[in-house]
Amino acid sequence: MSDVMYRFLRSKSGTTAVEYGVIAMLISVSFIAGALLIGNEVGNMFNDVGSDVAGAVK
């Protein structure tokens, strides 16, 4: 088993896979953070529009 791990750690494909994993993780985290920030703004905007429409209908 240690021979398999040694060959995996020494191979270039193992390093490349880890690098792609880190890149994918960073993209995912930035996407989630952006969606949360934008989601709050969009939610507030819809609440404001809903209040304006409700006030106009009364």
Largest CA distance in the chain: 76
30-to-2, 33, 35, 52 alpha-carbon distances in Å: 36, 5, 8, 33
DSSP for 18-45, please give it. Answer: HHHHHHHHHHHHHHHHHHHHHHHHHHHH
**Structural domain for 55, as ranges:** 21-58
Task: Confirm whether 48 is domain-assigned.
Answer: yes
Task: Confirm whether 11 is domain-assigned.
Answer: no
Task: Confirm whether 5 is domain-assigned.
Answer: no
The 10s digit of each residue's pLDDT in 7-50 is: 777 777 667 888 888 999 999 999 999 998 898 889 899 999 99
Judged by DSSP in three states, 14 sits in helix
Task: Confirm whether 39 is domain-assigned.
Answer: yes
Task: Confirm whether 14 is domain-assigned.
Answer: no
Q: What is the pLDDT of residue 5?
A: 74
> CA-CA distance, 40 to 43, in Å (whole number)?
5
What total number of domains does the chain contain? Answer: 1
